Amino acid sequence: MDDLERLEYVFDIQGYLVIPDVLTSDELAELNRLMDAQNLPGPKKRIRFGEAAGGARKSGPGFLACGKPFCDLLDHERTMPILRMMLGDWFRLDRIYGIYMDEGMEAGRLHGGNTPYSPGEYYHVRDGKIVNGFTVVSWNLTDTGPDYGGFCCIPGSHKGNFQATGTDSRGKV
């Protein structure tokens, strides 16, 4: 079983993947340097910048305006094979924004997952292939996890359409 098959299995049963150490220390340092250069306000307010393509709130290109290293995240060599596995070769960037937070800020809220679900947000397996209508890639530029915060989701949202492999219970591969 190859790496993508293992990732497919984990995503199918959990609804998310954790891919540790995707960015090198040099990439992280440059992304953080560019983010610091934005002079965003301190921890009193969570800041969201950028918006959906054609969205109601027009606030510009978000983090893409921070420099080429942020643009390079769109087709990063470690995430692109996974996106192709889940979405096929023909997919588009629909929403793009960054959320800048600091320790002590109010957390975001869970969204999606309502019944009936939004027609554009779905997950099925058809003929042994994932058919997915909405996928999110979240980049954390600092340490994350239960003690630090970061991306949050409710695991176990999918079925078990693929053969089991030897990954750990947190979805780490």
Residue 80 has pLDDT above 90, yes or no: yes
How far is CA 94 from each of CA 4, 31, 58, 110, 172, rounded to the nearest angstrom?
24, 22, 14, 19, 27
Residues ≥6 apart with Cβ < 8 Å to 37: 66
Residue-wise pLDDT for 84-96, tens only, equals 988 888 888 877 7
Q: What is the pLDDT of residue 112?
A: 60
pLDDT band for position 145 (50/70/90)? confident
Residue 68 has pLDDT above 90, yes or no: yes
DSSP letter (8 states) at residue 141: S
Best mean pLDDT range from 54-68, 75-89, 103-117: 75-89
Q: What is the mean pLDDT of residues 25-32?
A: 94
Can you tell me the distance from the alpha carbon of 85 to that of 19, in angstroms, rounded to the nearest whole number?
15
Q: What is the pLDDT of residue 33?
A: 94
In the three-class reduction of DSSP (H, G, I as helix; E, B as strand; rest coil), residue 75 is classed as helix
Q: What is the pLDDT of residue 72?
A: 93
Neighbours of 48 (CB within 10 A): 14
Q: Which two tokens stand for residue 139?
A: 């980049």
Can you tell me the distance from the alpha carbon of 16 to that of 4, in angstroms, rounded to the nearest whole number?
14
pTM, rounded to two decimals: 0.74
> How many CA atoms, within 13 angstroms, populate the side-chain half-sphere of residue 136?
18
Q: What is the pLDDT of residue 54?
A: 46
Q: What is the mean pLDDT of residues 95-109?
A: 72
